[in-house]
Amino acid sequence: MNKKLVNEGFNNLIKQNEDEGSIIFPVNTLLPAGSKEREEASVDLCTTISHCRVAMTIKLPIRLFTFEISLQLRAKKKQQSFLTKEEVIEIGKSLQLDDESDIDDALRYLHNVTIILYYPAVLPNIIFVDPEPILDVLSRLIAIRYVNHKDRNLIANPPPSPDETRDFIKYGLFKEDLLEIIGKQRIFNKNFESSHMIDLLKHLNIIAEVENKGEREKTHLRVITDVKNKEKKNDYFFPCALPSYNKLNPASKEVRPLLIAWKICNRGTTTLAIPQGLFPLTIVHLLEKRDIVDFCPVGKEYYRYHDAMSLCVYEKYYIDIINCYTHIEIRFDDCKASCPEICELVTEAIKRSSKDLNVDDHHIFAFKCPSKNEQCYCIAKEDKSSARCIQCRPKCDVLKGDDDSYSCWFKNRLSDPGAAEVASLAGPVQPTESL
């Protein structure tokens, strides 16, 4: 198993694994709430966790340790989960951290070892000693989709209007006003406002800002990347708020869906996995390329779910990106010749998302194996000219032969400049004597 992945804490991304000492535990989240099965499953989960004895060791210079404790104490005294930069500077002075740059270094260090949260690029004045306020706003926001209308006032008072609720639940869109109302209840104050939260969520690529062209034109939205454009009327797209898909249309046979995943090898068995949280980040990163990527019209033919999204690319093609939890699947069959371009576009977004998640970007490309073996995937080799089945014994031939429904993702035979170069290297064709 990829040790780095485990070290990063992405422990629930991998197949069922009953090896002793494993921190991987499969959970069926679809068991109905309140049912006996769910209760049994939670007891099972709790027992397993309590037997895990997972611990983390962080090396901390003693001066930073005292600094950290002082931050916690001050926040506790204030009954708040964050401090302002001013307060932190004051605490620093009492510990001989006189220079502002020393304090900044100390804060960055504590952030990197995940003791505090500090985002100087967007919120230079707020230091979270506890992630609670951020998680609180997010969980309340998500809760809007799960509670009945009559109970929504418990989350936001006044509750969102039927239009706002529909925009949120169906399209994943909300306005800053909604966040402001949610946070009014003991979360936001003059030092931590809804606009700060919006800046933070944008910085973390959890939401994308969307230009609102007229109230009811939700079918045509554009993502805004210009930070200076602070129109409070704008919508924010929050993919995690969307429902999950229940049925997918059959995939094309002309262009086989491309799978992107991480390869996990363990005792001779190969499985696929992706880091948790990769999918929504990738969607937001793609939408940020606003000259190239846009929302799809709303309709039955397109997906707009938290685990399946259709996107319009280059103003003419549609791609479907599906979160299969062990891999990400890309479907595109508008134009075979554009497959390599689409592959590159999505790969770039995946690279950025991996960076956000602090995961090494060692993704691989794969396909669903054409054999009858449902569990088998064909993993493309590095040169992308051949593949290897993870389970079948016969040689894998998906990238070989005349069938280009797989290989079309990797090479563009007609417009490949490399191919033209190879042709010219062969030299001009000699005229035959008979002419």
Is the Cα torsion angle 297, 298, 302, 303 positive or negative in sign?
Answer: positive
60 is an interface residue for Zn ion by CB under 5 A: no
Residue 389 Cβ vs Zn ion, minimum distance, rounded to whole Å: 3
Nearer to Zn ion, 187 or 369 (CB): 369
Q: Which of 311, 343, 378, 380 binds Zn ion (CB under 5 A)?
A: 378
Residue 382 Cβ vs Zn ion, minimum distance, rounded to whole Å: 16
182 is an interface residue for Zn ion by CB under 5 A: no
- Asked if residues 306 and 322 have their Cβ atoms less than 8 Å apart, the reply is no
User: What angle do the packed helices 100-112 and 85-93 form, to 10 degrees?
Assistant: 110
Nearer to Zn ion, 291 or 383 (CB): 383
Nearer to Zn ion, 322 or 379 (CB): 379
376 is an interface residue for Zn ion by CB under 5 A: yes
Stretch that binds Zn ion, among 136-144, 212-220, 374-382, 427-435 (CB under 5 A): 374-382
Residue 222 backbone class (left: φ over 0; alpha: ψ -120 to 50; beta: rest): beta
H or E stretch at 172:
none
Q: Which of 392, 404, 410, 412 binds Zn ion (CB under 5 A)?
A: 392
Q: Which of residues 61-120 bind Zn ion (CB under 5 A)?
A: none
Q: Which of 103, 182, 313, 396 binds Zn ion (CB under 5 A)?
A: 396
Stretch that binds Zn ion, among 23-31, 62-70, 269-277, 377-385 (CB under 5 A): 377-385
Residues that bind Zn ion (rule: CB under 5 A) add up to a total of 7
* CB-neighbour burial class of residue 121 (10 A; exposed 0-12, middle 13-18, buried 19+): exposed
Contacting residues for 356 by C-beta, under 8 A, at least 6 apart:
204, 205, 281
Q: Which of residues 353-372 bind Zn ion (CB under 5 A)?
A: 369, 371
Stretch that binds Zn ion, among 205-213, 236-244, 390-398, 407-415 (CB under 5 A): 390-398
Indicate the SS3 state at residue 125.
coil
Contacting residues for 374 by C-beta, under 8 A, at least 6 apart:
none
Residue 398 Cβ vs Zn ion, minimum distance, rounded to whole Å: 5
Nearer to Zn ion, 165 or 270 (CB): 270
**Angstrom distances, CA of residue 94 to CA of 77, 99, 363:** 17, 12, 48
- Asked if residues 241 and 253 have their Cβ atoms less than 8 Å apart, the reply is no
Q: Cα–Cα distance between 363 and 272 in angstroms, integer?
A: 10
386 is an interface residue for Zn ion by CB under 5 A: no
- Asked if residues 122 and 128 have their Cβ atoms less than 8 Å apart, the reply is no
296 is an interface residue for Zn ion by CB under 5 A: no
Nearer to Zn ion, 345 or 369 (CB): 369
212 is an interface residue for Zn ion by CB under 5 A: no
Residues binding Zn ion (CB under 5 A): 369, 371, 376, 378, 389, 392, 396
